[in-house]
A = this chain, B = another copy of it.
Amino acid sequence: MRTPRYLFTGDFAAFADYFRAQPHQERRFRKGDCLWAPGQPFQSLYYILSGVAQTYTAHENGRRKITSFHGAGTVFPGYHQQDFRIESAIVTVALTDLHALEFTKEQFRRMFAENARLNAQVVEWYASYVNLLLYEAAHQEYNSTFLKLCNLLYLLPAQQAGPDGCVVAMTQDDLADILCVSRVQLTRGLSVLRAEQIIRTHRGRIDILDRPALAQYCSLETR
């Protein structure tokens, strides 16, 4: 049974050749670029060939919530026809140089209509995104900051995880923006884990030294 993931990669890898053969525009973004101008509903979809992007929602009070990360072999944002109010607050920014194929909604609609395997995969991708959001809205919501943090550190490197020695390469500011907690409170949680030799902290990076011990702190829903 699948646990939530924050980094999406490879979901649409099987469609790489198909996508290249369809009408599209090839796009290259520099580290730090936005994939589209913020402030309006989605116009286009991107199939990422290489690089990683980060998606966050800007709040009118100035804060932001980082929702997810999107790497090679995935399509973002999710395909749909309706326009939602909240889309104008969603920003997707390249964390590295990024190479992608851009499709208009209409181009994607045509592929969706003609390719049954593709539309089945779109639905699976949505289900997976709903799973992440449900985990955050329904489960993490009731957890203390410290438990939220342990859960996040456990889930983030899940796809690459060995028994020990995995790495979370992210600033504490960004971790705080994923959990919607203050950077200060996040640091306090990290110091507890550091004191117990479960993690080592660095500038822009956290090493997870003892994943089994970390798992002990996590909620049942997470392990």
**A residues adjacent to B (C-beta < 8 A):** 1-4, 41, 56-57, 59-61, 63, 65, 67, 78-90, 112-113, 116, 119-120, 122-124, 126-131, 133-139, 141-142, 180, 219-221
Contact B122 A112 (CB under 8 A): no
Contact A67 B137 (CB under 8 A): yes
A102 to B86, CA, bound (A): 33
Residues of B contacting A88 with CB < 8 Å? 1
A2 to B59, CA, bound (A): 18
Residues of B contacting A59 with CB < 8 Å? 138-139, 142
Distance in angstroms from A80 CB to nearest chain B CB is 3
Contact A127 B89 (CB under 8 A): no
Residues of B contacting A219 with CB < 8 Å? 60
Which 10 A/B pairs are nearest by Cβ-Cβ distance? A80-B127, A57-B138, A133-B133, A126-B126, A65-B138, A137-B137, A84-B131, A136-B137, A1-B85, A141-B180
Distance in angstroms from A218 CB to nearest chain B CB is 11
